Amino acid sequence: MRQRGRLHGQALCVAAFSLLSTIPGPVIAQSDGRWKSGEEVYVKVCGRCHESGVGRVIKGRAFPPQAYGAFVRHGHLAMPSFRSSEIDDRALQALGEFLARAPISTQVDGDAERGFALVASGAYGCAACHAIPDIRFPKGNVGPPLIGMAGRSLIAGQLPNRPDVLAAFLRNPPALAPQTGMPNVGLSLEQARDIAAYLYTLEAPNGP
């Protein structure tokens, strides 16, 4: 189990540094006080991991600005640290304030019809593990049935059931819930959002 955890952490590190290596030089060069806003720092730097499913969702977490600043300066788990020459103190404060007040996403940014088509295609094996109301066969029982997904409070028993979290989880389940048995099946961000939109149409049946 410990070896699995180490391998998982190493994989996240590789993914994080691979994404960071794609940040163009001119973007990092803005770190000497010329960042326009905390949102710009988030979009151009943080979002490369935290909006792609590599890193955890950090919007709407209600951390104080100083906590975000500590994560950025000192790193956290697989997340690397950023020097003041990369994100200066003023920009870091603005980033922390932006994230602290960022609203929790309540909108599903995806297409439910496309999501159902992806699930029904069988290409990603959803029905092999889950019973899905709109799919007659197979009716997997390895994972929980997906009916009522819209009304559940948690994803994988531990993550808040929000559209942004669900899309990130679908794209890379082990990154958000290391103990899950659900594999990374190679969904793009758009595909994950579409499937999330479909899952939120699966309301629980009315009780007696």
* 203 or 125, which is more confident: 125
pLDDT for 192 beyond 90: yes
Tell me the pLDDT tens digit for each residue of 96-143: 999 988 865 556 789 999 999 999 998 899 989 998 988 888 888 888
- The pTM for the full model equals 0.53
| 149 a catalytic residue | no
Sign of CA dihedral 179, 180, 183, 188: negative
Per-residue model confidence (pLDDT) at position 3: 44
| 131 a catalytic residue | no
From 1, 11, 67, 79, active-site residue:
79
pLDDT for 146 beyond 80: yes
From 15, 16, 78, 168, active-site residue:
78
Domains of the chain (ranges plus CATH)?
A: 2-101 (1.10.760.10), 112-199 (2.60.40.420)
Helix orientation angle between 65-74 and 89-101, rounded to the nearest 10 degrees: 130
pLDDT (mean) for 185-205:
89
Rounded distance between C-alpha atoms, residue 165 and residue 174, angstroms: 13
Give percent above pLDDT 70 in the chain.
75
Tell me the pLDDT tens digit for each residue of 76-98: 878 899 999 999 999 999 999 99
